[in-house]
Chain A
């Protein structure tokens, strides 16, 4: 798998990973990120994925994956047993994000969380003009589809981290595949945000 075929947000997460790290990917989907990390960086990866379809796709890719529900926590993983724990595009689906992020920081030296930004100016404008819940490109689901998602904005997340004691040590703001420089207005133009927490 070349980095050309990896989804842009996953590629941006991959850019934060060092060679030979140990990585736990929560909600790893079809294992594309873990496969890329193993091939390109010699990463030892493990995935947790809820759906049977995702798990079978991971096994097809030769990825070590465990079918499981993140709401059950990461209790089996010893403290500090991974360099990095990743939660990409999954936080909108969690009932108790604080619990999961706390667990991530127990199990890993650092956590990387990525999600589509509901505070993008397209979404704000759409809400204002149409009166309907806006849909982000990264989370293109009408409000009534299953599984239910709670989209969030960058400010939502940053305040959540402050409130729950998670230290943000790095930010990547993406518009399409390109990183934006942090600064005024970045929150409005960011399509996907990636945060490193410690």
Chain B
């Protein structure tokens, strides 16, 4: 079960901004802040082989491996993170943290507000991608890492990667934004809003103050159904579902489930409510909608003016209509005018936006080779192959931020 996998992993927690709350883009503050995170692989001697993976809207820190031997499914990018995989954990130290505003261990609207003793709800401040990345910088500092080898992400993860490159260019060697955009388009904002409105329309919504009662899960499920449609492509929907009926042999002439696609969406929507918090959906989609790298700079190219020393790998997928190819082309264009070294591939795929998780073979070759180039370009000395003892020890505890250099590398 665990061959070619990172094996058993553990979610860890890092808390900061306890004395001094964190300043947010909105002008509000937030503190204390906890990040749930996971790491895979080992740091090399000068901590220069770390890759930060940023997750997408509904993702979390559990990128790869299994929490327990009984887990039926591994982390969300297990196909690409592990020994000998695209993000080879024999070579790289891979990190992923749950975003703030989320609900998988990091501080979010469902977390207890220290001042009131109750969950934040909508008293949680509105956060931005900039704020999310700011918290990640705290974590990277605490892990004693001066410069990340790479920051990578798909979709919302790609936006975080771009934010890292634009705002912290001296902390990153390479930026790999996948199936993403430098700013949310009106269509994307529209889809976010439909999802939010579905949640507000749920009878259990109660202004976000629902933690003691029933959650607005019907609304959240609808929001997720809309999301799933946007992640597929017409072609993949024809291929997976067609007009096939789910359980019946003929139309029921009622409003129960007729078609396979209906059943799929209902199932996905309901499953989502088991693990995701409706308020988090609001905060995260808001952060997505606010994201605009050109905001504050006088053009998108200007946003990258200080970030031309990085190597970039931009990837888009031909059938992705949620973050269509033109978003990536615009990004590549701006990076090129700024003088940056950009590699760009528009991968032929029929899977739609989901392709970034599904086109594993093509992505593996591409990522492996590109990261090899980054290692060579920045003269990074990779660690030797892991010993059996090291393979067992993948947990790296984090000290308080100022004691970063004493972080213990062995379990």
Binding site for B on A (CB under 8 A): 46, 52, 55-56, 58-60, 62, 64-68, 75-78, 81
Contact = CB atoms under 8 A, between A and B. Distances in A.
A66 B315 CA distance: 10
Given A56-B365, A59-B366, A76 B333 contact: yes
A62 B346 contact: no
B370 A77 contact: no
| Main secondary structure on B side of the interface with A | helix
B341 interface: yes
B348 A62 contact: no
B373 A66 contact: no
B366 A64 contact: no
Interface string B331-360: 011101101011111111000000000000
Interface of B: 311, 332-334, 336-337, 339, 341-348, 362, 365-366, 369-370, 372-373, 376
A67 B369 CA distance: 16
30 contacts: A46-B341, A52-B345, A52-B346, A52-B347, A52-B348, A55-B343, A55-B345, A56-B365, A56-B366, A58-B343, A59-B345, A62-B372, A62-B373, A62-B376, A64-B311, A64-B341, A65-B343, A65-B344, A66-B332, A66-B336, A66-B342, A66-B343, A66-B344, A67-B344, A67-B345, A68-B344, A76-B333, A76-B336, A76-B337, A77-B337
B374 to A, nearest CB: 10
A68 B335 CA distance: 14
Contact of B339 (A55, A59, A65, A78): A78
A75 B330 CA distance: 12
Contacts of A66: 332, 336, 342-344
A26 to B, nearest CB: 13
Nearest to A59: B369
B371 to A, nearest CB: 10
B343 A78 contact: no
A77 B337 CA distance: 5
A104 to B, nearest CB: 15
A84 to B, nearest CB: 17
Contact of B336 (A52, A59, A62, A77): A77
Nearest to A77: B336
Contact of B365 (A60, A65, A67, A76): A60
Contacts of A46: 341
Contact of A81 (B311, B339, B341): B339
Contact of B370 (A59, A67, A78): A59
Contacts of B373: 59, 62
Contacts of A68: 344
Nearest to A61: B369
Given A66-B336, A76-B336, A77-B336, A56 B341 contact: no
Nearest to B334: A76
Contacts of A64: 311, 341-343
Given A76-B333, A77-B336, A81-B339, A62 B369 contact: yes
Nearest to B314: A66
B312 to A, nearest CB: 9
Contacts of A59: 343, 345, 365-366, 369-370, 373
